[in-house]
Structure 1
Amino acid sequence: MSQESNIQLITKFYEAFQNRDAETMASCYHEDITFEDPVFGELKEQHASNMWRMLLKQGDSELKIRYSNVNASDSVGSCNWEADYHFSKTGRLVKNRIKANFKFKDGLIIDHRDSFSMWKWAQMALGPVGLLLGFTPIIKNKVRAQALKALSQFESQF
């Protein structure tokens, strides 16, 4: 695919995210997608799309998504995106700033890697506990275990 098509694909993905349209987001992913971020770790295939479905269905109804600096070549791409939402476990406001990197195959996203500071996220989401322990594997592993458990419970409804 061309640079322009891949820029359009990233834009389609984030516009769907802004519109809370998980099905359109999933349609941007290759069936062999690999997604990774600091909270969920690595998710493959339908689990990646189901994560977005879960987050949009069960997450903060006041979620605000912004994206910028969309760049792509014929094989890779990137953008910056921001998510403002209330973390469900604590009700605390999170203003997460994320760097997304993509790889493309057959006109779709085959690899999506989001990176952000787990410590900053934990400070916003968890408050004082996150400030003191958010950089430790203890918090990271606990948050990941809870996120994967929620995803598994969500997927068991299908």
Structure 2
Amino acid sequence: MNLNSDDKIIQHKDSFDLYQWSRQVLGITGFFIGWTPFFRKKLNSQTHKMLLTFEQNYNAPQQGGSGPIT
């Protein structure tokens, strides 16, 4: 992480180990399938659907209002 003279972040890089996460979340199942392309594709597909649903609900007009300001 790099900071400027005001101690504000100017560059930051995250890393994520999907295999390690799958073992923590799914236990022995994650140990056996967490590294496979099948698991990665299935997880990506499910989370993409969840994101689309969230975006549709967030962007829908709110009752008594006109939705988010854009």
TM-score w.r.t. length of structure 2: 0.66
Higher share of residues assigned helix: 2
In the alignment, structure 1 segments of 5+ residues that lack a partner are: 11-71, 79-100, 102-113
1:143 aligns with 2:37: no
For 2:46 and 2:53, the matched residues in 1 are separated by 11
Greater RCO (Cα-Cα under 8 Å, separation 6 or more): 1
- Partner residue of 2:31? 131
Instruction: Give the CA deviation at 1:3.
Output: 1.8
The alpha carbon displacement at 1:4 in A equals 3.1
Runs of 4+ in 1 over 3 A off after TM superposition: none
1:3 alignment partner AA:
N
Question: Which one has a larger percent strand, Structure 1 or Structure 2?
Answer: 1
Larger radius of gyration: 2
Counterpart of 2:15 in structure 1 is 115
CA drift at 1:121:
0.5
RMSD: 1.9
